Amino acid sequence: MTMGVTVAVVGAPDIAKELGKKGTSSDLTLFNTVTEGHATTIVEPTQFPEKFSPLLNALAMADQCLLVVPELSRPVAETIATLELAEVPTTVVLGPAVGETELVRALKGGRLETAPRLALDFPKLREVIDTWSAPPVEGPVMVPIDHSFPVKGVGAVALGVVRRGTLHGHDRLRLWPTPKVLDIRSIQVHDIDRKEAG
């Protein structure tokens, strides 16, 4: 089975595109990469700060977070405040325009004060991300869906991330919050057919 991780990249637009291939885009933009059996889905809250919900949704989908601080601004401050309340393990990425002293002052007193820090170096960031994996979560299968669309001759295709349990082909899942039950006909992980996805 492919190891995988979902990473929210927040704080600076246009950073995620340097870390993966662009996939679907709406309020969130997904970027994907697979290297040597390690699948990474990168989630960027594209419509933040115009809308607050994309930031919350990106963090809800994430196993790990990269907080990129290109400058100290109101959107970055709002992102930091939101991350302080989230339980997502976070690594702080220091942009070239922000000094360490400024960053220490901005993060003082919160959980991010002791978060790991990296410089904005894309090869190094990719290297670090490739060591991350999603922790297994036991329990009934839960797959939040971020996009869906009909495909002629196939039926409905849903895009999402398995957040709990293991999804198998031919499983039956409830489409929450409706009472509708869905049959899982097939599974793909980053465009590769699979019998299961964890």
Calpha distance 185→3 (Å, rounded): 22
- This prediction's pTM: 0.80
Average pLDDT across each block of 10 residues of the chain; the chain has 198 residues. List them in order.
Answer: 81 90 88 83 94 93 93 92 94 86 90 93 92 84 84 86 86 91 87 83
Smallest Cα–Cα separation from 167: which of 182, 177, 156?
Answer: 182
The answer to whether the beta carbons of residues 119 and 130 sit under 8 Å apart is no
3-state secondary structure 107-166: HCCCHHHHCCEEECCHHHHHHHHCCCCCCCCCCCCECCEEEEEEECCCEEEEEECCCECC
Residue intervals in the chain for CATH 3.40.50.300: 3-129
Number of neighbouring beta carbons within 10 Å of residue 116: 10
Calpha distance 92→36 (Å, rounded): 26
* Assigned CATH topology for domain 3-129: Rossmann fold (3.40.50)
Query: Which one-letter amino acid corresponds to residue 115?
Result: A
Encode pLDDT of 21-54 as tens digits: 998 888 999 898 888 777 888 999 999 999 999 9
| Chain centre distance of CA 146 | 11
Q: Which residues pair with 92 in a beta bridge?
A: 67, 117
Give the relative orientation of helices 74-85 and 100-107 as an angle to the nearest 10 degrees: 50
Which residues does 171 contact at the CB level (< 8 Å), separation at least 6? 141, 183, 184
Encode pLDDT of 126-137 as tens digits: 999 989 988 777
